[in-house]
Amino acid sequence: MTKAGTDISVDRGIDRGRRMPEHKGLIAQQPERFFRPFCVAPVRPGETLLMADVQGDTLLDSIVQYNNLPMTYAEMGLWFVPFSRMPDWMRQIIIGTGFGYLNLADIQGTTAAVAPGANAADIQTQGHQTPGLQSRVRPWAGEIGGNQTTQQSESVYAPYASHATYAIAEDWYDSDRLDWDQEDLMQNEPVLSPHSRGATRTNFDVGLAGLDPDPSSVTSLADLIEQLFLMTTAEMSWPEYLASHGVDPRNAHHMTHPLMIRHGYVGPMGPGHIVTNGNSAGAGDVDIQDDSFSSTRQRENYTNDINHDWDARICGSVGQRWNGSVRPNLRFDQPGFIVGTVTWWQETGQVSEYGHLFDATRMTHPGHWGVRQAGGVEEEDFLATQDLYDAAGTAIVNGASSGQTGTGSSVFNLLNLFLHGDVNIVVHLVRRRFHAVLLRGDVHVDDLLRGQHQASVGVKLIGDSLVVLVRVAVVGVAVAHREVEAGFKHLLT
């Protein structure tokens, strides 16, 4: 049959059986915001996922002082990546025949193309833009080929894991597009955007070429309007864009499908311990604090001239335990992979990340508050142009992101504050995070953090049907660590 197969008889011909595979994975020394897979399980069309269960731990690789515990968050996900989301050439692996091998194949046993690999230079340029089976060693995705000098055809692999991981990151996360190894080839795992996409953190210098041009140098009004649109667009991911148009991303065609998502605060894994050498010298009640008080990972000073009462803080292992199951009863209409992923973020609130500022204090213009002019609120109403100084107020901040040089005024979009919040560390040992989804309509509260001591308060905003539930969790030593969390059920759940 050479015509399009619209009249194909759909008949499985065999009874469906049942299988219960187990996939175990270990990820070690994973950098912050790097997005890594821990399992890749193939599924065939017509199969149904009845239940999935995940058990595991995400741990920092050293003990940490509970009093100086950094704000760290981890996320574990289980996803279905359909073949339609993978490169087209991979279909040839499935539908290949002997006749296709005679006409298309480069190596025995497959009709799929093989990436060029006659020498080491060819192998090193194999990446996501290279169609065909590959040999490059890509450890983060478990993709290992043989003979990195001249490609060994017997060991070429299909880069399913790396393509699937990037598909998930691009579909559901705001990617930083940062790559330390040939960005155009995406050789290492995806790198996600910071946990907080606040207004000041995403600023850039006034007059930045290509984004904030000098009007006198632009001869076209269309060019100015085009740049203004880019300048006023808030930070968003692909599902956030779809949801803003009333489309559920989970039902969008050719997107990866979330099966299970767990987001957790990385905190103490058990009771803390005090580590001391038992030296009683200098144990008097003095008002000297060691410099390590302001550090999260600095060894304690036990010299005789410093009070050990200050230095001997509670230490222990820090992590997040994953233990959950889902019963999606999801039937797969095409082949693909169930992929498990994990990532983590840490918010230190450093000056270079504008953690010493409350973004809300920069709302100095009526437009920042949504004041309607000429009948509506426009995106450019939320732009702010201000000088942002360091914690001492003596020097302009040199931000860590591109487009921030710390030499003059900054441009930032306060829509990011309304949509994404911010990160602030204003005093030692007290860390705060406020997370909310503001809607006109009903908002359901869900998934608040667990704590040893809680206090819940319900708040009703006049004019909006918005119920806010705030819970305070005190962890570890009293008054040593506070986590303020306003949790809301997400739009998509």
Total domain count for the chain? Answer: 3
**68 and 30: one domain?**
yes
Cα–Cα separations (whole angstroms), residue 203 to 90, 207, 350, 385: 41, 12, 15, 9
Rounded to whole angstroms, the Cα distance separating 289 from 428 reads 13
Instruction: Please check whether residue 306 lies inside any domain of the structure.
Output: no
Asked if the model's pLDDT at residue 213 lies above 60, the reply is yes
Instruction: Please check whether residue 116 lies inside any domain of the structure.
Output: yes
Say which residue, 43 or 440, is predicted with more confidence: 43
Give percent of the chain with pLDDT exceeding 70: 71
Instruction: Please check whether residue 9 lies inside any domain of the structure.
Output: no
Segment of 86-95, 96-105, 156-165 carrying the highest mean pLDDT: 156-165
The residue-averaged pLDDT of 325-334 equals 90
Asked if the model's pLDDT at residue 435 lies above 70, the reply is no
What pLDDT score was predicted for residue 5? 59
Instruction: Please check whether residue 288 lies inside any domain of the structure.
Output: no
- Measured in degrees and rounded to the nearest 5, phi and psi for residue 255 equal -105, 155
Asked if the model's pLDDT at residue 301 lies above 70, the reply is no
**400 and 362: one domain?**
yes
Instruction: Please check whether residue 301 lies inside any domain of the structure.
Output: no
The residue-averaged pLDDT of 272-297 equals 48
**41 and 99: one domain?**
yes
The residue-averaged pLDDT of 220-236 equals 82
**146 and 82: one domain?**
yes
**467 and 353: one domain?**
no
Q: Which of 340, 258, 336, 339 is nearest to 47 (CA)?
A: 336
Judge residue 84's burial from the number of C-beta atoms within 10 Å of its C-beta, 0-12 exposed, 13-18 middle, 19 or more buried.
middle
The residue-averaged pLDDT of 289-298 equals 40
Instruction: Please check whether residue 92 lies inside any domain of the structure.
Output: yes
Q: Where in the sequence is the domain holding 391, given as residue range(s)?
A: 199-234+348-428
Asked if the model's pLDDT at residue 477 lies above 60, the reply is no
**264 and 363: one domain?**
no
Asked if the model's pLDDT at residue 309 lies above 60, the reply is no
Judge residue 197's burial from the number of C-beta atoms within 10 Å of its C-beta, 0-12 exposed, 13-18 middle, 19 or more buried.
buried
Judge residue 353's burial from the number of C-beta atoms within 10 Å of its C-beta, 0-12 exposed, 13-18 middle, 19 or more buried.
buried
Tens digits of residue pLDDT in 342-362: 999 988 777 888 888 888 899
What pLDDT score was predicted for residue 105? 59
Q: Which of 483, 67, 69 is nearest to 309 (CA)?
A: 67
End-to-end CA distance of the chain: 44
C-beta atoms surrounding 458 within 10 Å: 9
Q: How confident is the prediction for the chain on average, in pLDDT?
A: 74
Instruction: Please check whether residue 295 lies inside any domain of the structure.
Output: no
**385 and 449: one domain?**
no
Model confidence at 13, in pLDDT bands (50, 70, 90)? low
**73 and 163: one domain?**
yes
- Measured in degrees and rounded to the nearest 5, phi and psi for residue 44 equal -110, 155
**394 and 453: one domain?**
no
Rounded to whole angstroms, the Cα distance separating 377 from 75 reads 35
Say which residue, 349 or 58, is predicted with more confidence: 58
Model confidence at 168, in pLDDT bands (50, 70, 90)? very high
**319 and 359: one domain?**
no
pTM of full prediction above 0.95: no
Instruction: Please check whether residue 18 lies inside any domain of the structure.
Output: no
Structure tokens at 14: 């065999």
In a 3-state reduction of DSSP, which class is residue 157? Answer: strand
**123 and 257: one domain?**
yes
- Residues 226, 227, 233: CA angle, nearest 5 degrees: 95
**442 and 408: one domain?**
no
What pLDDT score was predicted for residue 391? 83
